[in-house]
Amino acid sequence: MFISKNKKTYGNYYLYYTGENGLRKSVSTKTSNRKHALEFLFNFKNNQQKSFIPSVKPLNKFSELEEKVMQYVRSNFRKGTQNIYSITIKNFKKILGNKKLNEITSHDIEFYKSCRLKEVSPTTCNIELSTLKSAFNIGMKFGWALFNPANSLHCHFPIFLLRFPVSFQMPRFRGISGFLVQMNPVNNKY
């Protein structure tokens, strides 16, 4: 946040600041006097700090967040998505219990991930992890949660084994791969 003179407006000071969406914004102080512009800056800072005080008190327990998020999901998403949220939150509570929101850490999320990988496929686990991340983001959006412990979360990617094509026998595959190596323009010297 700073003030600067704008030459296009006959030397008036402008206050430049970063808005809630992360973009730079400017407001005219309507004065060319530096002292009055600094007073405007001071008053603007005080008013902006007061406006960022959340009017909603953050929730305490995960079960409270579950109620609010599910209420939001029921009114905004389709039935299939509602089921995914419901199953994910139920499994999270089953594994970690009804913890306080400020006590849930990224370590807890990793523990949840490792427990779920023993029970379900990696793809299902990825869907549940992204749903959990989204649930915490909904909580942050409305001020129910102060932070998202799932932000540092990385999905589990399955490792696929390299296999030979099913339609070729091994000798035939070697023959084709040898031919392709010979046809490589890097190896050929014309």
pLDDT by residue (tens digit) across 91-137?
999 999 999 988 999 899 999 999 999 999 888 998 999 999 999 99
**C-alpha to C-alpha distance for 97 and 116, rounded to whole angstroms:** 15
Would you tell me the crossing angle of helices 122-141 and 62-76 to the nearest 10 degrees? 90
Closest to 144 (Cα-Cα) out of 48, 72, 47:
72
Task: Look at residue 169 and tell me if it is in a domain.
Answer: no
Contact 146, 137 (CB under 8 A): no
pTM of the model: 0.56
| Domain span at 121 | 62-141
Q: What is the pLDDT of residue 116?
A: 92
Q: 69 and 118 in one domain?
A: yes
Task: Measure CA 16 to chain center.
Answer: 28
Q: 31 and 101 in one domain?
A: no
Percent of the chain topping pLDDT 90: 34
**C-alpha to C-alpha distance for 50 and 44, rounded to whole angstroms:** 10
